[in-house]
Amino acid sequence: MKRANWQELLWVAIIVVLAAFWPMLANGYWLGIGVDMMMYIALATSWVLFSGPTHYISLASAAFFGVGGFIVGTGMSDYEASFWSMLALSAVVGGALAALIGLATLRLSGVYFVIFTLGLAEMIRNLVSWIQNNFLGSRGLYVLTDFTDKHLYWMLLVTAAAVYLLGWIISRSRLGFALRIIGGDETVARHVGINTAMAKVILFTSTGFFGAIVGAIIAPRWSYIEPNQVFSPQLSFFVVIMALLGGSGRLWGPIVGVVPFLLIWNWVDANFPHQSILVLGLAFLVIVYFLPHGFVGRIDQLRARARGRS
C-alpha cells in the first residue's frame, strides 16, 4: 500500500514534467486546449480532494473561480495592484470564504448541500455586484498583462500539481483516514469520535483556495471581467462531470476524465457546432450507466481481473 502510493506519486511527477513541455510542442489552438485542460484538471482535482472521500457533491466551483477572477479584475483595474499580489489575495479570500460557508453549511447533508452550492455562485455574483455598485464603483474591470497562454498554462500546471500533492499528503494523514470514514458512514465516524464538521471544513477550504487561484490565473486570459461570466454555473457542472467521468475514487481520476472529455467536446464543437452541449448529456448518461466509478473504477477493475488471471 505504502509503496504503491509512492509509485503513484512518481508517475504523476513524470506526467507533470512531460506536461510542462507541451507549450514547446504546440501553440495557438492546441496550446489553448492545453490551457483549458490544465484549468479543468486543477479544478476537478481540487473537487475530488473534497468530494471524493466525503461523497458530498459540490457545485460551488464557479463561486470560487469567480471570486478569483473578480479580485484580480478589481485590484488591477481600479487599484493598480500587481497581478501577483491579487493572486495571493484571491487565494486567501477564496479559502476564507469556503471556510465560512463550510462552517455554516457542512452540517447539511445529501441533496441539501448540492442545492445550496448550486445557489452559492449566483449569491456571490449578486453580492459582488452589489458591493461593486454601492461601494467600489467601476470603470470596467480590465486585466491587461503580458502573459500569453504559455505562461498561464505553466501557472495552472503548477497549481494542479500543488493540488495533487496536497491531496496525496492528506490521503496519507489522519485527516484523510477520517474523511474516508466519513464517506463510508458519517454517523459511525461521529461515534468513533471524529470531528466530522471540522474535517469537512478543512477540505472544503482547500477547494475554495484552489478554485480562486485558478479563477485568478484565467483572468488575464479573459482580459475583461464581467461578473455574470466569471460566475457562470456551467463551469461547476463541467467540473463535476469531468471529475465523475474520470472517477472520484482516486486523485489522478480527473486527469483521465478531463483529457478525453475536452478532446471529444472540441471535436464535436468543431464539426457540429450546435450539438456540443449534447456531449455533456451523453457524458452524464455514460457515467450513470457504464462508468459509475469513472474511468478510474474501470481501470482498477481491469487491473484486478488481470491480477486474478495471472
Partner 1 sequence: MFRRKLLGLAAALTVAGTSVFAADMIKIGAIAPKTGPLAGGAVVTQWPNVQLWVEQVNARGGLNVDGKQMQIELIEYDDKTNPGEHIKLAQRLATQDKVDFVVAPYGTGFNIATAPIYGKFGYPMIAVSAITDKADELTERYSNLFFTLGTTTAFVDGVKEILIEQREAGTIGNEVAMVNVADAFGIELADRARELFGEAGFDIVYDKSYPLGTPDLSPVMKGAKDSGAKAFVAWSYPPDSFGLAEQAIIEDLDVNVYYSAVATSFPAFKGAYGNKINNVLGAGGTNVDDPVIAEYRDAHLAITGKVADYWASANTYAALQILEQAIEGAATLDRDVVTQFIKDNSFDTVMGSLSFENQVSNTFWSVGQWQDGVFRGVKGSNVDGAVSVRAKDGWSD
* DSSP conformation class of 136: I
57: left (phi over 0), alpha (psi -120 to 50) or beta: beta
Considering only residues 175 to 214 of the shown chain, the ones binding partner 1 according to CB under 8 A are none
Q: Which is nearer to partner 1, 190 or 266 (CB)?
A: 266
* DSSP conformation class of 172: T
Q: Which is nearer to partner 1, 100 or 270 (CB)?
A: 270
For 229, the grid coordinates are: 461570466
Q: How far is the CB of 132 from partner 1 (least distance, A)?
A: 6
Considering only residues 10 to 39 of the shown chain, the ones binding partner 1 according to CB under 8 A are 27-29, 31-33, 36, 39
Considering only residues 261 to 290 of the shown chain, the ones binding partner 1 according to CB under 8 A are 266, 270, 273-274
> Which are the contacts of 102, defined by CB distance < 8 A and separation ≥ 6?
200, 201, 204, 205
Q: From CA 162, how far away is CA 158, in angstroms rounded?
A: 6
Question: If DSSP codes are grouped into helix, strand and coil, which group holds residue 222?
Answer: helix
Q: Which is nearer to partner 1, 144 or 188 (CB)?
A: 144
Q: From CA 227, how far away is CA 230, in angstroms rounded?
A: 5
Where does this chain touch partner 1 (CB under 8 A) — which range of 175-183, 190-198, 216-224, 246-254?
Answer: 216-224
Q: How far is the CB of 104 from partner 1 (least distance, A)?
A: 22
- What value, to the nearest 5°, has the Cα angle with vertex 49 and ends 47 and 51? 60
Q: Give the x-and-dash track for 129-168 against partner 1 (CB under 8 A).
A: xx-xxx--xxxxxx-x---x--------------------
Q: Which of 151, 162, 183, 222 binds partner 1 (CB under 8 A)?
A: 222
- Judge whether 239 and 64 are in contact, CB under 8 Å: no
Q: Which is nearer to partner 1, 15 or 148 (CB)?
A: 148
Q: How many CB atoms lie within 10 A of CB 95?
A: 21
80 binds partner 1 (CB under 8 A): no
Q: How far is the CB of 207 from partner 1 (least distance, A)?
A: 20
Considering only residues 39 to 58 of the shown chain, the ones binding partner 1 according to CB under 8 A are 39
For 117, the grid coordinates are: 452550492
Q: How many CB atoms lie within 10 A of CB 291?
A: 18
Q: Give the x-and-dash track for 105-134 against partner 1 (CB under 8 A).
A: ---------------------x--xx-xxx
Q: How far is the CB of 129 from partner 1 (least distance, A)?
A: 4
Q: From CA 195, how far away is CA 203, in angstroms rounded?
A: 13
Q: From CA 44, how far away is CA 52, in angstroms rounded?
A: 10
Judged by CB under 8 A, the number of residues near partner 1 is 38
- Judge whether 65 and 215 are in contact, CB under 8 Å: yes
Question: If DSSP codes are grouped into helix, strand and coil, which group holds residue 27?
Answer: coil
Q: Which residues lie near partner 1 (CB under 8 A)?
A: 27-29, 31-33, 36, 39, 126, 129-130, 132-134, 137-142, 144, 148, 218, 221-229, 232, 234, 266, 270, 273-274
